[in-house]
Amino acid sequence: MYKNKIVQEDMQLMLQTCKNYERLKNKSILITGATGMLASYYMYFLMYLNDTQSYNIKIYALVRNKEKLNKMVCLEERQDVIPVVEDVTSPLNIDKDLDYIVHMASSANPKNIVSNPVEIIEANVTGTLNVLKLAREKNAEVVFTSTREIYGKMPEDKEEIFETDMGILDCTELRSCYPESKRIAENLIINYNYEYKVPYKIARLAHAYGPGMIIHNDGRIMSDLISNVVTNTNIVLKSAGSALRAFCYLTDAVNALIMITVDENKNEIYNISNELEEISIKNLAILLTELFKEKELTVEFHLEENKNQYVKFARTKLNNDKLFSIGWRPAVSLESGLKKTVEYFEQIEK
């Protein structure tokens, strides 16, 4: 996957748009959940820095499936990628020095929330605790990917959400297993810093998409729509599609994560989103059919009671001022990101 044409173009774009990545030179970095969408692009960018800038970054990729990792990076060709085959919910044993632990092992798949809620909680809580124990042992800094969902339901007159805001979550709802466990993970990080001085950065991400996402049988709207286009299937919306979203292409999200990682200010929390092109689900579906007119796809509406486990309350924009203050700006438009994503999946699924 690393050598894929779209991935390599994205790596070149990241090199042009990311800031302060030179601070990663000669660092040792553990990435948990390294085969996931965000984590894989984070890993690819470190590899790209080694390949093009001779940065000598040691990349420890914590995964449960070594074969999947091998298909992505061809391990026999890479001395800089060291697989660590462990489950993050088990104690982590790594005998190497680490500068950063980028903790991304988690699942936000709505269908997993229905079928495996306890496992989601374990990954976010037990997994984070194990990461923090290792970080304390190695004197490493933790970078944790959280979610906008931890904010919960906000007041109706709230126009945007700052990192200091907090809304309401109903802990008795099945759907809350994901945001509630992310909340306790954040609290564990805060308290490990307070009690043991483990430095951290927390990133609260919203609606990232791109190569490496799960598109088939996922349940999230962007995944489902991309799957329709890639498989040449008409789009069927089971609602009026009036809900609003703002999507952030993968390179922009990972650039933000890299810049947060290397920023000299410690113990900070950042929102990561692209609020420039808010769009309704209906208009997103229509846009995809227009971008790929040659497929002659249509948008159909089969209205039914909402039975999914995706977040139910109306969205409020995330404020990105804090992220802007360290130099980040989104560089990929929605149209460009959609084209890249569809082209990527059409290439790998041939």
Domain CATH code at residue 46: 3.40.50.720
Instruction: With residue 38 as reference, give the H or E element that holds it.
Output: helix 37-53
Determine the straight-line distance between the first and last CA of the chain, rounded to whole angstroms.
14
> Burial of 255 by CB count in 10 Å (0-12 exposed, 13-18 middle, 19+ buried)?
buried
CB atoms within 10 A of CB 89: 18
**Token digits for 105?**
């092992």
Question: Which residues in 132-149 are b (16+ Cβ under 10 Å) and which e?
Answer: bebbeebebbbbbbbbbb
- 326, part of any domain: yes
Average pLDDT score, the chain: 94
pLDDT at 107: 81
State the pLDDT confidence band at 231, using cuts at 50, 70 and 90.
very high
Domains: count for the chain: 1
User: Using only C-alpha atoms, what is the Rg of the chain?
Assistant: 20
pLDDT at 309: 44
- 205, part of any domain: yes
Give Cα 99 distance to the centre of its chain.
21
Query: What does the pLDDT average to over 46-70?
Result: 97
**Token digits for 317?**
């924009």
- 187, part of any domain: yes
- 104, part of any domain: yes
Closest by Cα among 127, 104, 35 to 257:
104
Residue 171 confidence (pLDDT) above 70: yes
State the pLDDT confidence band at 311, using cuts at 50, 70 and 90.
low
Pairwise CA distance, residues 74 & 89, whole Å: 26
pLDDT at 306: 53
Residue 307 confidence (pLDDT) above 80: no
**Token digits for 156?**
């109706």
- 254, part of any domain: yes
Among 19-33, 45-59, 99-113, 198-212, the minimum mean pLDDT is found in 99-113
Hey, what's the torsion of the CAs at 341, 343, 346, 347, to 10 degrees? -110
**Mutual orientation of helices 5-17 and 334-348 as an angle, nearest 10°?**
150
Q: How many CA atoms within 13 Å lie on the side-chain side of 215?
A: 19
pLDDT at 218: 83
pLDDT at 108: 78
Query: What does the pLDDT average to over 188-204?
Result: 98
Beta strands in the chain (DSSP E): 28-32, 58-63, 81-85, 100-103, 141-147, 160-161, 200-205, 208-209, 235-237, 244-245, 248-249, 268-272, 279-280, 299-301, 317-318
Task: Flag whether the pTM goes above 0.75.
Answer: yes
Contact between 338 and 287 under an 8 Å Cβ cutoff? The reply is yes
Domain enclosing residue 41, as ranges: 5-210+247-275+314-332
Query: What does the pLDDT average to over 118-145?
Result: 97
- 267, part of any domain: yes
239 or 222: which leads in pLDDT: 222
